[in-house]
Structure formats: structure tokens, C-alpha cells
């Protein structure tokens, strides 16, 4: 594509100007190219053309004729009505436009006009009329085929559909000579796609014989070509990132295995088969002289922490430091306590570094500590490592690509292990993590019991109180979770505090505690320690306990305002119970149920498999928000839908792999390379190929 032509600011396009350019900017249209890829949301089929004589009242029709009379009528309420009578020789049809006085300058007697709208009889039952019809002056129509299937665009206040259609027509006419096809001819023919120029034109000006159903489903050949391009260049960029990393010089870890052997001997449980397989994959990867970049996926409670500790011990035994970065302070604290317990008796120095625990950064820089667990505080400028060999990033979707890169830069090409307990369907894994090798823990440790999940209506709260009482009397402990959303943090904290006070009045016989993110780290640590020991029977909490908290005796969770939680978050919270031998329950207490909230709660009740829940979440919310695509550094997808277009994504991935196998630097494909740089906004790391 000719970058200069297509990158023309939209305000300089004929018929736009500064005022309309500001309106178009609201829609994300700043250049001519943006306009080309701003696709219609639907299409109107105006092929039902009839002579006026054949029109039946109630029909949506297209009629064509000459204006034989035109008037402006003013009503008592100062309403302006432009009234035109047209004839095609078989009869007369009246068109009325309300408060559109500018039409007086456009519509003239003897002008040929085409109308589209719903025909009906006037209030006296004498004449056929169409109110506020779409219209087109036939002699001014430079391209007749635009009228039979008409594109409808999403608008913003101040822009009419007709103005938008006119702008798109101008953009297409201006840009047409500059559109070059970035795909090689052989690939276009192999996939039986139209050329890019034809695809873009036919999306905005569909041919008369196009299938309206396919157009409206975005499944026409023209749409499929545009969708393929997005997915192909997305995958091409991801594969190039991966290819470049394979060229980097990293650390080859070859531990003798003494530390690992002692660690496995000390574990109070046996590893699952899935854990053994994944540990072997990671250790083999760490032996390679190139940096490991691996994604570890595992459902809630599948044992990811043990796998991560194994990798960190392998690096430590080879004389390097390892760092684990968690998204919240309480999760960092939980990791620190759990991992310290796992490593008891082993010669490993472990340190926590967060905004609350930040006094010993000198121990990190001197190399006096081997394993550092922390939050974003680890990537601050003043934190230096002596020899960082392995980076582990937990709940990675909470971090942006820049934050992950900043931690990696603390070492010299350290190995990276990215962990997520939000399982990801294959299509999303290819997209968000396509540059990483993937390991999956698809097996839960022996003894994990299924968790009974139920929705209880607010007017049945007494049932919940009874369940709490019975659970504690039988020896269990209870979580009561309140939502905590940043925008309304004060309100939510008040809600949790009020709930805590109410529960103390309801259950004076039990020890009840409140934990939330505003407390000091020391306070939180003391409360969690008492809850683990069983000194606290009911823990009222905000979502600080979402991940990482492991109390085997906690057997009942009640989630208040359950409709305010995302599906993945509900699944994470539910995973805090069912970690011991006793059967566990999760009770969802919603207050205001939207349709989307009903779908979420139905999914969490019906499914326990994290992968299935992730797929349901994608259907409900779409993939962008769900897996942090917006913060992952990936280009925005304007047309492709990662759920709907899975088959095309697989094809795009395979074709991108073949292209790079033939030509790893795209030297044979200059148009493809230029388009790729533009698509990824010139991201330097992609194009620094060896």
C-alpha cells in the first residue's frame, strides 16, 4: 500500500474538513486508511424495486420516478414538511421529510429520484406515501450499483447516514489507486480470495448480485479476505517475535539436581503426571542456550506454584537468582509464605519485596538472596539484581507487556515462565501468547473434591445463615466475599465493613475477622495466619483473597453481589474452597441481574472446568478484555472476531509459518513487510531479525 496516499489525514478528503474530521475521530477515523477499514455494520437490501402501481401498503420498497410537484408546508407548531410527489407513469407516490428544509435547495421538479422506505396510505387513505425516505438523485449517481445494496455505518452525533456514505464513497475513490495487495499472488489464488482492492471496494459498494445474508454475517468472500489479512499479519508479527527470541543468546541451565531432589523428597504429596510432564518440558527448555519463553496454563488448584518453584530452584542451583512477580501484595505475601514453607530446610535464601516490604533491596543487588518474590515494586529503577537468571510472572494477564519486559531487563536475557490460572482457548493462546511455548496442567491433584455451586436469591438469605452455622458446627470455616472495584472502592469497603458488623451480631458465638487491601501487610498476614490455624471461623474479605490463598479447612464461600464479578474471577474465588478432604460449597448471592450477569452465573453453576469457563467468558464478553489483549501490546483487530473466526486464524497461522520458513526476514516480500510494519505500528522488536 502507498503509505502517503492512504495516510492522508481525513480532514483533507473532499467533503470532510476540520469540523467533520473531529466527528470522525470519535469513531476512530483519522486517516483515509481508517475510513477504508471502518466497515458497515449491516446492509440494507433495496433490490425490491417496484412500479408505483404495484406497491402494496406496508411494503419496504425501492421506487423510482420524476418529481412532478414539490412543496414546503408549515404547520401551526412551526414544523416544516417538505412534500414531493413523484410519478413513474404508472401512478403517483408522495414523499414527506420533516424538518429537513435544506432539501428545498436539492429537490427540483422534473428531477429523477430514487426513494427507499416503507410505503403506507396517508391518513385519509387516498394516497401512497413514504415518510422520511432515503433518497438518491439518479442523474448524480456516478455508480448505479451503490443503490441496490446499501451499506449502513455506525454513526456519532452530528453525522447522518447519508453524509457517512458520501464520505466513504469519497475515501474509496481517492484511495483506490493507492491500494496495493500485500499478499503474494500464489497465496491469494491458493485460498481463492479476492484481491484486496476488490474486497475493500465490494464491502463498501456491494455488487448487485451479492448475498445479503453473507454480507450481514460478515461472511462474504470480501469480508473473509479482510479478516484473513488481520489474522495473518497478527500471526506473522507474533511468529517474528518468537523467531527473534530464538536468535538471542541466553543462559544454559544444567543443574546437578541435588537441590531439586531434596525439594521433591520434602514435599508432603506426590506430583501429578501433568506436573511431572510440564516440569520435564521446562527443565529441557532451560538447558537450551536461548532464553526460555514459556506459558504455564493450569486451572485453579492444579499445582502451578510447585512447578514454578522447581524451575526457580534449577536456576538457583546453577548460581543465578530467580524472581517471581505477582499482581497484588497479598498474592505476593501468600507466595512468600507458601514457598518459604516448601523450601524449609533447603539452602535457599528467600526475600519478599513489595511497597510494604522494601527495606532490603541491598540484599537483592549483592546477591545475598537467591529467590525474590514481589509485586510491581521489583521493576522500579532502584532495584538491581546481581545475576537474574529466571523470571516467573504470575497471573500474567494483570500485567502489561511493558511491565513484563522491564522485569526481564533486570537480567541479561533471563529465562521467562509466564503463569496463568485463567485457562485460554487455543485461538486466544495463538493470539495473546503465540510467541510463547505452551505447557498445560490439565490434571488436578488427587483428592480435590468437586465444589457444589448454587445461586441463592436475596430474599432467601436465611438459608445462607443456616448453611454458615452448620458448616462451622461440623468443623469447617467460611469465606464471605464482597466485591471491591477501584471506581467505587470507598463504597465497597463500607459494604464489606457493614457486612462484617452484621455477621458479628448474627453469630456472636464465632470468631469473625475482616480483611481488605487497605490494611497494612502485617495486619493481613496476622489475620491469614489465624484463619489458617482455625482461630477464625468466618473471614469477611474483599477480592484480595481471589488467588493464592490456600486454607484446606475452608469449606464454604458466600459471594455477595455475585453479579458484579467477572466469570474468571468467580472461578478463581471458588477455587479457594475445596482444597481439603471435606466437601465444599460456593453460594452466589446476586442483587441486580442483567442478562449478561445471568449468563455468567449460569456458566459458573454449570461448569467446573476452567477451559470451558474461559470459552463461555469469551462468548459473553469477547476476547479483548478477557485476556488483556488491549494491554498486551497486540494490534487492535478491527474486523476479525477471535471466537467466530477460529478456522481462519488456524489457516493464517499455518500460512504465516510457511512464509517465514521460506524467507525469515521477508526480503522477498517487500509489500508484505511494509504492511506488517504499518499493522504493528512499526514495533522495533519484530523487525530486528538476525
3-state secondary structure 332-380: HHHHHHHHHHHCCCCCCCEEEECCCCCCCHHHHHHCCCCEEEECHHHHC
Give percent of the chain above pLDDT 90: 42
Provide the pLDDT for residue 168: 94
Q: Is residue 398 pLDDT above 70, yes or no? A: no
DSSP state for residue 202 in the 8-state scheme? H
Q: For residues 548 and 331, is the Cβ–Cβ distance under 8 A?
A: yes
Close Cβ partners of 329 (under 8 Å, ≥ 6 residues apart): 354, 355, 356, 375, 517, 521
**Dihedral of the CA atoms 352, 358, 359, 361 (nearest 10)?**
70
Provide the pLDDT for residue 523: 85
Model confidence band, residue 682 (pLDDT cutoffs 50, 70, 90): low
Provide the pLDDT for residue 306: 94
377 & 416 share domain:
yes
Residue showing cell 509464605: 337
Q: For residues 288 and 250, is the Cβ–Cβ distance under 8 A?
A: yes
Cell of 553: 479447612
DSSP state for residue 140 in the 8-state scheme? G
Residue showing cell 454475517: 217
Considering the domain boundaries, does residue 431 fall inside one? yes
64 & 143 share domain:
yes
pLDDT digits (tens, 9 = 90+) for 74-93: 888 888 899 999 998 898 99
Burial of residue 58, with CB atoms counted within 10 A of its CB: 0-12 exposed, 13-18 middle, 19 or more buried: exposed
Q: Is residue 257 pLDDT above 50, yes or no? A: yes
Provide the pLDDT for residue 148: 84
Burial of residue 506, with CB atoms counted within 10 A of its CB: 0-12 exposed, 13-18 middle, 19 or more buried: middle
Helix, strand, coil abundance in the chain, percent, nearest 5: 45, 20, 35
CA–CA distance from 260 to each of 304, 349, 400 (Å)?
16, 15, 32
358 & 483 share domain:
no
Q: For residues 587 and 568, is the Cβ–Cβ distance under 8 A?
A: no
Considering the domain boundaries, does residue 653 fall inside one? yes
Provide the pLDDT for residue 427: 66
Last residue in a domain, options 441, 463, 478:
441
Provide the pLDDT for residue 3: 44
How far apart are alpha carbons 274 and 423 in whole angstroms? 15
What CATH number should be reported for the domain holding residue 498? Answer: 3.40.50.300
Q: Is residue 689 pLDDT above 90, yes or no? A: no
What CATH number should be reported for the domain holding residue 124? Answer: 2.40.50.140
pLDDT digits (tens, 9 = 90+) for 622-667: 655 544 444 455 677 888 887 788 889 999 999 999 999 999 889 9
Expressed as residue numbers, the domain containing 326 is 258-441
439: left (phi over 0), alpha (psi -120 to 50) or beta: beta
402 & 498 share domain:
no
Q: Looking at 496-633, which runs of residues are DSSP E strands?
A: 512-515, 538-541, 554-560, 584-589
Model confidence band, residue 572 (pLDDT cutoffs 50, 70, 90): confident
Q: For residues 372 and 411, is the Cβ–Cβ distance under 8 A?
A: no
Cell of 75: 404547520
| Residue with the larger pLDDT of the pair 310 and 382 | 310
205 & 313 share domain:
no
The Cα angle at residue 636 between residues 631 and 641, in degrees rounded to 5: 110
Q: Looking at 493-589, which runs of residues are DSSP E strands?
A: 512-515, 538-541, 554-560, 584-589
Q: Is residue 9 pLDDT above 90, yes or no? A: yes
373 & 507 share domain:
no
Close Cβ partners of 625 (under 8 Å, ≥ 6 residues apart): none
How far apart are alpha carbons 506 and 494 in whole angstroms? 18
Phi and psi dihedrals of 345, rounded to 5?
90, -5
Q: Looking at 421-573, which runs of residues are DSSP E strands?
A: 437-441, 451-455, 477-481, 512-515, 538-541, 554-560
Q: For residues 126 and 88, is the Cβ–Cβ distance under 8 A?
A: no
How far apart are alpha carbons 328 and 354 in whole angstroms? 9
Last residue in a domain, options 584, 607, 630:
607
Close Cβ partners of 171 (under 8 Å, ≥ 6 residues apart): 10, 13, 32, 35, 36
Q: For residues 570 and 604, is the Cβ–Cβ distance under 8 A?
A: yes
- Name the helix (H) or strand (E) containing 1: none
Q: Is residue 483 pLDDT above 50, yes or no? A: yes
pLDDT digits (tens, 9 = 90+) for 153-203: 999 998 988 899 999 999 999 999 999 999 999 999 999 999 999 999 999
Most confident by average pLDDT, 357-361, 619-623, 628-632: 357-361
According to DSSP, the β-strands at 512-515 and 538-541 are: parallel
Provide the pLDDT for residue 39: 94
How far apart are alpha carbons 513 and 484 in whole angstroms? 17
Provide the pLDDT for residue 617: 78
Last residue in a domain, options 102, 125, 147:
147
Q: Is residue 432 pLDDT above 70, yes or no? A: no
276 & 333 share domain:
yes
Single out the residue of 555, 549, 616 nearest to residue 587, CA to CA: 555
Considering the domain boundaries, does residue 67 fall inside one? yes
410 & 268 share domain:
yes
Give percent of the chain above pLDDT 70: 88
How far apart are alpha carbons 74 and 79 in whole angstroms? 6
DSSP state for residue 639 in the 8-state scheme? S
Provide the pLDDT for residue 331: 81
How far apart are alpha carbons 95 and 116 in whole angstroms? 10
According to DSSP, the β-strands at 388-393 and 415-420 are: parallel
Residue showing cell 415518510: 131
263 & 239 share domain:
no
116 & 193 share domain:
no
How far apart are alpha carbons 633 and 625 in whole angstroms? 13
The partner residues of 512 in beta bridges, in order of sequence, read 538
Cα first-last separation, the chain: 26
pLDDT digits (tens, 9 = 90+) for 262-295: 999 998 888 999 999 999 999 999 999 988 989 8
Considering the domain boundaries, does residue 155 fall inside one? no
Considering the domain boundaries, does residue 161 fall inside one? no
Considering the domain boundaries, does residue 3 fall inside one? no
Considering the domain boundaries, does residue 470 fall inside one? yes
Domain count, the chain: 4
The partner residues of 113 in beta bridges, in order of sequence, read 65, 137
Residues in the chain: 690
Cell of 84: 414531493
| Residue with the larger pLDDT of the pair 12 and 547 | 12
Close Cβ partners of 85 (under 8 Å, ≥ 6 residues apart): 67, 68, 69, 70, 92, 93, 94, 95
673 & 586 share domain:
no
- Rg of the Cα atoms in the chain: 32
Helix-helix angle 329-342:521-533, to 10 degrees: 50
**Dihedral of the CA atoms 294, 295, 298, 300 (nearest 10)?**
120
Single out the residue of 172, 173, 175, 179 nearest to residue 153, CA to CA: 172
**Dihedral of the CA atoms 664, 665, 670, 675 (nearest 10)?**
90
Provide the pLDDT for residue 426: 65
How far apart are alpha carbons 335 and 490 in whole angstroms? 28
Considering the domain boundaries, does residue 38 fall inside one? no
Single out the residue of 489, 522, 486, 548 nearest to residue 354, CA to CA: 522
Single out the residue of 303, 320, 202 nearest to residue 255, CA to CA: 320
Cell of 637: 483487530
268 & 243 share domain:
no
Amino acid at each position: 500500500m502507498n503509505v502517503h496516499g492512504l495516510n492522508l489525514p481525513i480532514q483533507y478528503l473532499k467533503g470532510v474538513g476540520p469540523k467533520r474530521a473531529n466527528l470522525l475521530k470519535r469513531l476512530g477515523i483519522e486517516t483515509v486508511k481508517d475510513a477504508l477499514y471502518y466497515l458497515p455494520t449491516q446492509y440494507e437490501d433495496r433490490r425490491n424495486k417496484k412500479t408505483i402501481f404495484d406497491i402494496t401498503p406496508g411494503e419496504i420498497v425501492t421506487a423510482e420516478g420524476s418529481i412532478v410537484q414539490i412543496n414546503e408546508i408549515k404547520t401551526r407548531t412551526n414544523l416544516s414538511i417538505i412534500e414531493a410527489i413523484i410519478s413513474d407513469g404508472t401512478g403517483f407516490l408522495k414523499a414527506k421529510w420533516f424538518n429537513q428544509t435544506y432539501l428545498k435547495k436539492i429537490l427540483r421538479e422534473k428531477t429523477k429520484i430514487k426513494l427507499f422506505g416503507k410505503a403506507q396510505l396517508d391518513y385519509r387513505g387516498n394516497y401512497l406515501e413514504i415518510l422520511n425516505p432515503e433518497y438518491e438523485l439518479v442523474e448524480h449517481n456516478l455508480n448505479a450499483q451503490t443503490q441496490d445494496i446499501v451499506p449502513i455505518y455506525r454513526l456519532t452525533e452530528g453525522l447522518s447516514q447519508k453524509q457517512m456514505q458520501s464520505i466513504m464513497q469519497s475515501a474509496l475513490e481517492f484511495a483506490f489507486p493507492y491500494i496495493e495487495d500485500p499478499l503474494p499472488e500464489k497465496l491469494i489464488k491458493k485460498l481463492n480470495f479476492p484481491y484486496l482492492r476488490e474486497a475493500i471496494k465490494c464491502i463498501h459498494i456491494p455488487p448487485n448480485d451479492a448475498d445479503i445474508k453473507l454480507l450481514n454475517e460478515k461472511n462474504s468472500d470480501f469480508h473473509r479476505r479482510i479478516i484473513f489479512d488481520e489474522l495473518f499479519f497478527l500471526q506473522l508479527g507474533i511468529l517474528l517475535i518468537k523467531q527473534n527470541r530464538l536468535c538471542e543468546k541466553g543462559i544454559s541451565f544444567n543443574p546437578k539436581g541435588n537441590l531439586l531432589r531434596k525439594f521433591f523428597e520434602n514435599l508432603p504429596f506426590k506430583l501429578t503426571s501433568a506436573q511431572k510432564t510440564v516440569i520435564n518440558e521446562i527443565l529441557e527448555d532451560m538447558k537450551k542456550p536461548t532464553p526460555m519463553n514459556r506459558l504455564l496454563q493450569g486451572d485453579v488448584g492444579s499445582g502451578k506454584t510447585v512447578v514454578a518453584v522447581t524451575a526457580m530452584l534449577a536456576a538457583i542451583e546453577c548460581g543465578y537468582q530467580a524472581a517471581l512477580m505477582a499482581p497484588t501484595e497479598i498474592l505476593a505475601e501468600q507466595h512468600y509464605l507458601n514457598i518459604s514453607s516448601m523450601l524449609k530446610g533447603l539452602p535457599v535464601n528467600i526475600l519478599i519485596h513489595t511497597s510494604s516490604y522494601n527495606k532490603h533491596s541491598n540484599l537483592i543487588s549483592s546477591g545475598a538472596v537467591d529467590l525474590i518474590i514481589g509485586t510491581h515494586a521489583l521493576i522500579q529503577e532502584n532495584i538491581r539484581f546481581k545475576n537474574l537468571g529466571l523470571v516467573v510472572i504470575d497471573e500474567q494477564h494483570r500485567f502489561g507487556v511493558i511491565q513484563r519486559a522491564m522485569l526481564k531487563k533486570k537480567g541479561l536475557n533471563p529465562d521467562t515462565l509466564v503463569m496463568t490460572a485463567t485457562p485460554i482457548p487455543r485461538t486466544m493462546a495463538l493470539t495473546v501468547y503465540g510467541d510463547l511455548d505452551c505447557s498445560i496442567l490439565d490434571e488436578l491433584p488427587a483428592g480435590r473434591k468437586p465444589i457444589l455451586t448454587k445461586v441463592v436469591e436475596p430474599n432467601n438469605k436465611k438459608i445462607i445463615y443456616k448453611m454458615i452455622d452448620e458448616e462451622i458446627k461440623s468443623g469447617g470455616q467460611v469465606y464471605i466475599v464482597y466485591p471491591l472495584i477501584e471506581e467505587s472502592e470507598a463504597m465497597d469497603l463500607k459494604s464489606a465493613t457493614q457486612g462484617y458488623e452484621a455477621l458479628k451480631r448474627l453469630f456472636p458465638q464465632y470468631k469473625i475477622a475482616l480483611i481488605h487491601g487497605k490494611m497494612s501487610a502485617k495486619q493481613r498476614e496476622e489475620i491469614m495466619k489465624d484463619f489458617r490455624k482455625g482461630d477464625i471461623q468466618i473471614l469477611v474479605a474483599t477480592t484480595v483473597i481471589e488467588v493464592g490463598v490456600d486454607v484446606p479447612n475452608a469449606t464454604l464461600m458466600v459471594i455477595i453481589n455475585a453479579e458484579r464479578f467477572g466469570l474468571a474471577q468467580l472461578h478463581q474465588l471458588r477455587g479457594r474452597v475445596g482444597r481439603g478432604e471435606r466437601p465444599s460449597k460456593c453460594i452466589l448471592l446476586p442483587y441486580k441481574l442483567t442478562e449478561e450477569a445471568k449468563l455468567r452465573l449460569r456458566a459458573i453453576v454449570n461448569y467446573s472446568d476452567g477451559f470451558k469457563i474461559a470459552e463461555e467468558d469469551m462468548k459473553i464478553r469477547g476476547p479483548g478484555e478477557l485476556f488483556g489483549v488491549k494491554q498486551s501490546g497486540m494490534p487492535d483487530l478491527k474486523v476479525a472476531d477471535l471466537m467466530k473466526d477460529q478456522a481462519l486464524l488456524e489457516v493464517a497461522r499455518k500460512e504465516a509459518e510457511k512464509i517465514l520458513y521460506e524467507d525469515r526476514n521477508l526480503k522477498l516480500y517487500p509489500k508484505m513487510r511494509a504492511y506488517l510494519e504499518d499493522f504493528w505500528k512499526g514495533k522495533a522488536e519484530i523487525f530486528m531479525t538476525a
